Amino acid sequence: MNSKKLILAIFIVLTLPVFAQQVDLSLIPFRQGDLWGYASPDRRVVIQPAYAEANWFVSGYAVVKKGSLYGYINTTGKLIIPCKFYTAKPFRIGYFDNAGSHTAGGKTVQNQDSVLFAGAAPRADGVEICINTKGERMSKCPAINENSVADNNQVVTVSSQKVYSLVNNANLYDKLVDDYKINGDNNTYYIGTKNNMYGVINNIFEVILPFEYTSIKKISVGDVTYLEAVKNGAYGLYRGNGSVYVPAEYNNMVYVKAKNGNDYFIVSKDGRAMVKDIEFNDIVNADYSDIIYDEEGGFILTGTNNNKGYYLLNNKMIKPKYADVKMVRGGRFLLVKTASGKMGYMSTDGTEYFEE
């Protein structure tokens, strides 16, 4: 089994938009050796492992692979669409216009019939067609709700450089790059550069931080502003008024606004990475060679032996023992790669849905 192809296929399903069809989490893809089937949450095998790949059930159907081709099974394990496709995607709801219309919200709306369909490629060139739940080619592909198109839900931001009117008295700076306010203070504060070094001044030309830092970044946490400053390769934090919040003693610092709404810092020192909360209390101790934030909602931990583990935002810890790990399924399952290079699922309570 090609594990690279497997993980790609699995992640195609795992990264479906949250507004697509609901995934059935009661049937969990279960690997036994090189074969995949399905198990219940209590790890009881429900559909015997017999496939080279097995994806999650969506709308009552799951994509499975036999040999080099894909087909679909239902929740009883019956192969209802033979493995005859070179690629196959999960079923989803689409719409066909029918005759007639109705009024909704004061507007005339075309009547629509909903239908399940999937994209699949019957030829090796990978060109997909739309199929129905019998595996038959549809005369045309259904329309999909525009709100379910991922590209339409991406926030596009256009960055523009601010122009400041502050008079540069005494040639105090070369350029202003950002600004902020402090509660209870009528002054405006400016991050600027001079001779390619960063500093902070205010609108009455007081120097808050001298122009001797290689980088200064504003971090806004609620209505409080912090300044991440780098000097001589050491990272530290200042309050907006220039007072020291965290001494400059770290080799690296990454601010994280996590999925649970909390604020964290990933910092490293002397070759060890750790996670701190906004008060700079320890959340994850300095026992790891690297830590990165996973946008799905946790921290991927790399141990000193290069194995991967996971820190969940509910304070649970998966100790590093995997070659790779990634959160999937809205925070309830992890996809891991074992030391043998094979993929498998595990729940966030540590239950493994695979056997080597």
How confident is the model at residue 13, as a pLDDT?
Answer: 39
Per residue in 181-223, pLDDT (tens digit) is 999 999 999 999 999 999 999 999 999 999 999 999 999 999 9
Q: Where are the beta strands (DSSP E) in 105-157?
A: 107-121, 129-131
What is the reported pTM? 0.82
Sorted by sequence, the CB contacts under 8 Å of residue 104 that are 6+ apart come out as none
**Strand, helix or coil for residue 3:** helix
Place 19 in a pLDDT band, splitting at 50, 70 and 90.
very low
37 and 28 Cβ atoms separated by less than 8 Å: no
Question: 330, 328, 240, 90: which is closest to 353 by C-alpha?
Answer: 328
Q: What is the pLDDT of residue 156?
A: 43
Domain ranges of the chain: 3-153, 175-355
Q: pLDDT higher for 56 or 330?
A: 56
